[in-house]
Structure 1
Amino acid sequence: MDFVSNLDGDMCLAILSCLDDPSDLVRASAVSRSWRHFVIKQSLTKNLCLKLFPQLTSVDRVLEEETTINEEEEEEEDTRRRRREHRVYALLAKGCTSSPIQSCIADAIAASSTDRLPAESISNTLDERDRVGRTPSYWSSAGHHNPSVPETLLYKLKADLCLITQLSIHPFQVYYYPGRPICSSHYVRFRLGHLNNHSQDKNNYVWAYTSPQFALAQENRLQKFKLPEPVLCIGGYLLVEFLGRVQRCDADDLYYICVTHVKAMGRSLAKSFRVVDPDESSGKFGLKVLSYSDPQEMNDKEEEAGPSEFRTMRNRRLEQLVDFLHRHPTDVVQYAASDYYESDEEEEV
């Protein structure tokens, strides 16, 4: 029996609302015209997306580059809106569940403090290695007598929409100091949000999500922190907060925090969506579809065209090389270019 045609609307809604996977709702909408009409009319795909990703409650409108169905011109506005939302939220759900897991940090923006620039810049945390050639590669905070003074690192993600699942921190071991101390913090916390475009202060951010505090071990390794549940970052900014200082420097009796690498893993929706016209007074924003192509297929085509991430990393390493040459002009002959392009090899000190 076709229950959608033979049962009342409330009973049909109760049955189809038991589906907890957006892909199942998309399949249900393809069974017949009556099923498709019911799924769209009841906004089932949108409602399930809002349930899975509460951050989407801030979306007050969805936009497309162009109308994709000619018949929409003859439909009522409410029907057109529901059809459009069904397409958009179905694509969003697919991107959040089937796009490849990848590193989502695009660039380093700013640190709350830096001990020495540019040698200990936040940009060093984008490289997984703790040294480039024989030069240490890490970020260091300014020193403080008070070990409770926090520090923050701000990053731009690869897309306005990124589903973040895990973040990682690698504390730096000061291998050239006696005792090889590790300058970590007691705890780390993560915030996800967007830039406040209507503020006079260009450094004003709105943090829609704040993670729990995670204990950061005083160990020389990449430490992974899985979020309690995947978080959809709307706006594309990540703030890393270091709480409590562990290591004091014997040279000046000050506490420092030093980090080799920061990583955010998740699903980037850069090729499919863009956030438009955020309204800071209401917290609402528009969601624009850039392409309905399969995110996985687009990633495969991009990899065939050439790995853009490799080119970005090469540029960063060239910047590190230039900085190294400025600081060690008399030692240039001792290092080969291969020191700056080998990905994981480390030299003995």
Structure 2
Amino acid sequence: MSMMECRKDFLSFLDSDMSLKILMCLDDPVDLVRVSCVSRSWRHYVIVNSLCKQLCLRIFPQLSRVTRVVETNQHGLEETPEVGSSSSMEWLALQRDHRVYAYLARSFKSSVSMNCIAKTIVASSTDNFPQESIDNTLEPSDHIAGRYSYWSSNGQSNPNVPETLTYELASQICVVTEINIQPFQAYFQMGGPIYSAKSVRFKMGHINASLDASADEKIVWTYTSPEFPMTQENELQNSKLPEPVLCIGGILQVELLGRVQRQEMDGLLYICISHVQAVGSLLSPAFSVDILEPSGMFVLKCDRNYQPPATSEEESGANSTDYMQRGLRDFQQIVTILRGHVIGVVEDDWDEEEYEADDFEEEYAL
């Protein structure tokens, strides 16, 4: 009997828990889309078990605060399905969630890294304003138009007094992977001292729109990074986050912890920074959020009409029929391998015609 005559659907022979464990090992949204295109039964399995949503939650734990997802039309209005039975409405909701989360995961995978900081908000202190303003940290050079460009804190005698720099990111919803900071070297002072901090930590969150919020509660922090050491070196120092962080609300705060450099003139300790970068990717305009106060939960919105730029893989023909058929053959090989480990397997009708290229193109390209 040839291999093609002995095709098996392993999902029909394994219990649900084992099938889920196998499919949960997939960590690429493209792979899940391929799975959902193998057959109608596989597509149904992927959607009913919310595998795309679970993948996104593994990548971005911050999504656990999503109350619901919506799709918007070309006018920015929420698309609502026609009234039907409870079971049909539930199925339509599962399909919608599948599309949105598959698109979200793919958007992150295919996005281009950039500096996500749009503008400054406030510094905890400034020595000489506006000459040493936080605005200077947006410039990549420490020397602009014949003058030095940097932010400087107030001087302190206590080395443990921290400082903070707060920024607004370029999108209300974006992914941050690393933050780079360059301490300032004062060439105009004896010995060219470098005014770095001992370490740095980062917070991300959103504005608290509640009227009852106090001054200290105006920003709700939803993520706090571990501490990263800083060195007294005049270079852009990289702090790569342990995992990519989904920043909901677009607020970033840099906490500068500990002082190491005294100024000879007054004997006080300062921290001076010439440049700050938040490297990541923007998920707007394809995605936006409505933050629900005071709970801090949010609604995730997806613009179905937005078309992201094609990735290099897609440009080289990743969506071609050959590419999809190659994905099908890969899964047929998986089935063959797993079939060899199942005792007492009885043949069933594995229908190649259920593999629909149009479904793959619709979900992958969205």
Question: If the length of structure 2 is used for normalisation, what is the TM-score?
Answer: 0.76
Cα distance in 1, alignment partners of residues 192 and 304 from structure 2: 51
State the match for 2:101 in structure 1: 89
State the match for 1:49 in structure 2: 56
Aligned counterparts, 1:110-149, within 5 A: 110-149=122-161
The aligned amino acid for 1:23 is V
Cα distance in 2, alignment partners of residues 184 and 13 from structure 1: 49
State the match for 1:278 in structure 2: 292
Flag the 1:2–1:202 CA change in 2: closer, same or farther, 3 A: same
Q: Contact 2:141–2:149 at 8 Å: present in 1 too?
A: yes
Cα distance in 2, alignment partners of residues 28 and 21 from structure 1: 11
Cα distance in 2, alignment partners of residues 69 and 40 from structure 1: 19
Matched, 1:210 2:224: yes
State the match for 1:21 in structure 2: 28
The aligned amino acid for 1:157 is L
User: Which of 301, 306, 309 does residue 288 from structure 1 map onto?
Assistant: 301
Alpha-carbon distance, 1:6 to partner: 5.8
Matched, 1:2 2:9: yes
Cα distance in 2, alignment partners of residues 261 and 237 from structure 1: 17
Name the SS for the 2:246 alignment partner: strand
Cα distance in 2, alignment partners of residues 175 and 11 from structure 1: 64
Alpha-carbon distance, 1:16 to partner: 2.3
Alpha-carbon distance, 1:227 to partner: 1.0
Alpha-carbon distance, 1:48 to partner: 1.5
Q: Contact 1:184–1:217 at 8 Å: present in 2 too?
A: yes
State the match for 1:238 in structure 2: 252
Cα distance in 2, alignment partners of residues 69 and 133 from structure 1: 52
Which deviates more, 197-206 or 115-124?
A: 197-206
Count of residues paired in the alignment? 297
Q: Contact 1:158–1:270 at 8 Å: present in 2 too?
A: no
Q: Contact 1:167–1:263 at 8 Å: present in 2 too?
A: yes
Alpha-carbon distance, 1:153 to partner: 0.2
Compare CA radii of gyration and give the structure with the larger one: 2
Matched, 1:173 2:185: yes
RMSD of equivalent CA atoms: 2.3
The aligned amino acid for 1:107 is K
Name the SS for the 1:253 alignment partner: coil
Name the SS for the 1:178 alignment partner: coil
> What are the Cα deviations for residues 250-271 of structure 1, in whole angstroms up to 9, with x where unaligned?
2222111110000011121122
Flag the 1:11–1:69 CA change in 2: closer, same or farther, 3 A: farther
User: Which of 255, 259, 282 does residue 268 from structure 1 map onto?
Assistant: 282
Q: Greater RCO between the two (CA within 8 Å, min separation 6)? A: 2
Alpha-carbon distance, 1:10 to partner: 4.4
State the match for 1:37 in structure 2: 44
Alpha-carbon distance, 1:296 to partner: 3.0
> What are the Cα deviations for residues 23-54 of structure 1, in whole angstroms up to 9, with x where unaligned?
21112112232222221111111112112211
State the match for 2:66 in structure 1: 59
Flag the 1:252–1:10 CA change in 2: closer, same or farther, 3 A: closer
Alpha-carbon distance, 1:196 to partner: 1.2
User: Which of 187, 204, 208 does residue 199 from structure 2 map onto?
Assistant: 187
Q: Contact 1:114–1:141 at 8 Å: present in 2 too?
A: yes
Alpha-carbon distance, 1:124 to partner: 0.6
Flag the 1:60–1:265 CA change in 2: closer, same or farther, 3 A: same
Flag the 1:109–1:170 CA change in 2: closer, same or farther, 3 A: same
Alpha-carbon distance, 1:17 to partner: 2.5
State the match for 1:224 in structure 2: 238
User: Which of 242, 245, 252 does residue 266 from structure 2 map onto?
Assistant: 252
State the match for 2:361 in structure 1: none
Cα distance in 1, alignment partners of residues 113 and 186 from structure 2: 32
Q: Contact 1:273–1:291 at 8 Å: present in 2 too?
A: no
State the match for 1:329 in structure 2: none
Cα distance in 2, alignment partners of residues 17 and 68 from structure 1: 31
Cα distance in 2, alignment partners of residues 104 and 244 from structure 1: 26
The aligned amino acid for 2:231 is A
Alpha-carbon distance, 1:293 to partner: 3.5
Alpha-carbon distance, 1:180 to partner: 1.2
Alpha-carbon distance, 1:100 to partner: 0.7
Q: Unpaired segments of 5 or more residues in structure 2?
A: 1-7, 312-366
Cα distance in 2, alignment partners of residues 4 and 71 from structure 1: 31
Amino-acid identity (%): 52
Q: Contact 2:169–2:251 at 8 Å: present in 1 too?
A: yes
